């Protein structure tokens, strides 16, 4: 008590100032600790979802390129034509034009000598020591990012003088008897990674400092070029989905990681997608609100002190008069009355001052609540926007642009769901792989716009011919996949024949009648994974092609 000021006015000012700070302190501490931590956790989860989505899109893009090269190698031209045929180069250049990132596509013989290539580059060159040739002899091969060696002097240099870098796709080419004829290889320019990531970036990526990085198996950042990821950070990300680290400088980042699915299990790339955002950007709203609350608390405290000083001055005179009257009574002057001139008015003024102080406190609390509500609304709005962008990204990654059907990524996910359901319910399902007959002839005769029209037409017929519970997707090129849940073999054959007849009996405006070849396989609970039935149906599809096309071949027919 000895430290308390003796003056009533000073005590009242100190009390009001302390009251203002006491009310603001809990809000400040809540924002500084609890709310900031919650916001950081939510943002970390959102970043991890983005990393998973980006990794899935990159894997699907790689798989599409591998599938394109593999399908080209299976065409009759590559199985039967002499390796010195002039028809190879137009076929290779059509594939190159279909995807601008292809810098070079070539066909070699079994000795590694280039027999056909886009632009005539490396014709007659010996590439037998190149990893894409040696890997492509054994099966589908996907090579990691590397500098261009043989082609570096033949292709247009990069504008910034940087070395040209490729990622390789190669597959073996067999004749009809299964004997190796050569290797079909394609070099995709590494700029495709930047183009894919640019499409996936949200509109506020640059403003928020969000970065997408691709890291290889050795921890080196292969896009964009920068220092390798520290081993300590890689080890932490193996056990924690989201970490805070200073990789690359003094700035702290909220960092998360998602692996890219390996397209060729025999030769895994081991790529990972790293998504990170500066920590100060993530908690910028919290810092702004914290400063606003602190400033408001100081201003409110100062205002209360001024009001208290004024109110104490107005109360001091009647209170001193009251004290004098009390002392007179204490000294025995019983005639003295505890009356103050204008006391009623002073009491009213005191009440008004108290009400003003209370109103100020209420206003301050309401302002704080309004600030909290505004911040929560802003966070909810940004979270909703991020969720919407993630939904759009997931939808775009799972939808074929040309036909509007689900794409291969969506088909793989649905196959996995049905396989898990079959394991649990012991109810088999059917898989049909369909291919438009003579589709290459349609493209060559009528042009690619007509081929696109045929794909859209067939897609519409397939949707109309199937049940609501069935699933149809464009599996790649002119291939489609139909999944019939909980469907026995006889019913699956009936559905497949219905689809085949529906396509055959509905001619297109562009090229007239088209037909389908169909391979049908039944999934079984004893299968190792969902791809077993797909591979079986794909093999039966090729039997249907070999047997004359426009037919369905299933397990019994096989």
Q: What gap in Å lies between CA 507 and CA 491, rounded to an integer?
A: 26
Q: Spell out, as residue ranges, where the chain has pLDDT lower than 50.
A: 204, 347-348, 350-351, 354, 358, 557-558
Whole-number pLDDT of residue 87: 92
* H-type alpha helices, 466-530: 489-504
Whole-number pLDDT of residue 173: 94
Query: Which residues contact residue 313 at a Cβ distance below 8 angstroms, ignoring those fewer than 6 apart?
Result: 9
Q: Which of 182, 188, 164 is nearest to 63 (CA)?
A: 188
> By the 8 A CB rule, do 502 and 465 touch?
yes
Number of H helices, E strands in the chain: 16, 16
Extended beta strands in 160-248, E state: 165-174, 180-189, 211-215, 221-223, 242-245
Q: Which domains does the chain have, with CATH numbers?
A: 14-22+285-396 (no CATH), 74-193 (3.30.450.20), 408-553 (3.30.70.270)
Whole-number pLDDT of residue 489: 93
Condensed to tens digits (0 to 9), the pLDDT of residues 121-173 reads: 889 889 999 989 999 999 999 888 877 777 767 677 666 556 778 888 999 99
Torsion angles phi and psi, residue 493, rounded to 5: -60, -40
Is the sign of the CA dihedral 391, 418, 196, 233 positive or negative? positive
């Amino acid at each position: 008590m000895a430290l308390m000021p003796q003056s009533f006015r000073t005590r009242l000012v100190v009390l009001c100032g302390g009251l203002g700070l006491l009310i603001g302190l809990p809000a400040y501490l809540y924002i500084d600790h609890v709310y900031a931590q919650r916001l950081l956790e939510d943002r970390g989860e959102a970043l991890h979802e983005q990393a998973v989505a980006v990794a899935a899109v990159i894997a699907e893009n790689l798989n599409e390129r591998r599938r394109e090269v593999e399908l080209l190698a299976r065409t009759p031209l590559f199985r039967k034509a002499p390796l010195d045929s002039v028809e190879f180069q137009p076929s290779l250049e059509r594939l190159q034009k279909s995807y601008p990132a292809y810098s070079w596509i070539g066909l070699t013989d079994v000795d590694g000598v280039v027999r056909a290539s886009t632009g005539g580059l490396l014709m007659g060159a010996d590439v037998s020591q190149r990893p894409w040739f040696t890997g492509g002899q054994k099966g589908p091969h996907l090579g990691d990012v590397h500098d261009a060696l043989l082609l570096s002097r033949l292709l247009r240099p990069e504008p910034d003088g940087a070395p040209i870098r490729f990622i390789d796709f190669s597959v073996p080419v067999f004749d009809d008897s299964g004997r190796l004829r050569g290797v079909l290889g394609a070099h995709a320019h590494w700029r495709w990674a930047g183009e894919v990531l640019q499409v996936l970036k949200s509109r506020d990526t640059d403003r928020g400092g969000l970065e997408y990085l691709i890291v290889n198996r050795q921890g080196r950042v292969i896009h964009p070029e920068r220092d390798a990821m520290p081993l300590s950070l890689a080890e932490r990300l193996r056990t924690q989905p989201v970490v805070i680290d200073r990789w690359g400088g003094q700035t702290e980042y909220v960092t998360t990681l998602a692996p890219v699915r390996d397209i060729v299990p025999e030769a895994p790339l081991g790529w990972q997608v790293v998504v990170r955002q500066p920590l100060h950007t993530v908690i910028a709203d919290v810092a702004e609100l914290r400063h606003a609350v602190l400033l408001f608390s100081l201003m409110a405290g100062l205002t209360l002190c001024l009001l208290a000083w004024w109110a104490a001055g107005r109360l001091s005179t009647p209170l001193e008069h009251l004290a004098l009257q009390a002392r007179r009574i204490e000294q025995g002057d019983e005639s003295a009355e505890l009356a103050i001139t204008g006391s009623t008015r002073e009491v009213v003024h005191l009440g008004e001052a108290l009400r003003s102080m209370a109103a100020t406190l209420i206003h301050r609390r309401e302002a704080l609540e309004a600030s909290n509500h505004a911040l929560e609304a802003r966070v909810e709005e940004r979270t909703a926007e991020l969720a919407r962008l993630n939904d759009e990204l997931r939808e775009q990654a799972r939808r074929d642009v040309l036909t509007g059907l689900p794409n291969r990524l969506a088909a793989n996910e649905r196959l996995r769901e049905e396989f898990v359901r079959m394991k649990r319910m012991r109810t088999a399902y059917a898989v049909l792989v369909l291919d438009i007959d003579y589709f290459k002839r349609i493209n060559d005769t009528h042009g690619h716009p007509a081929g696109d029209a045929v794909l859209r037409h067939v897609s519409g017929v397939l949707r109309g011919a199937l049940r609501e519970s069935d699933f149809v997707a464009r599996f790649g090129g002119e291939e489609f996949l139909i999944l019939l849940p909980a469907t026995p073999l006889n019913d699956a054959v009936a559905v497949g024949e219905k689809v085949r007849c529906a396509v055959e009996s509905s001619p297109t405006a562009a090229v007239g009648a088209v037909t389908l070849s169909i391979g049908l396989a039944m999934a079984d609970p004893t299968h190792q994974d969902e791809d077993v039935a797909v591979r079986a149906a794909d093999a039966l599809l090729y039997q249907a092609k070999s047997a004359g096309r426009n037919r369905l071949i299933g397990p019994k027919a096989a």
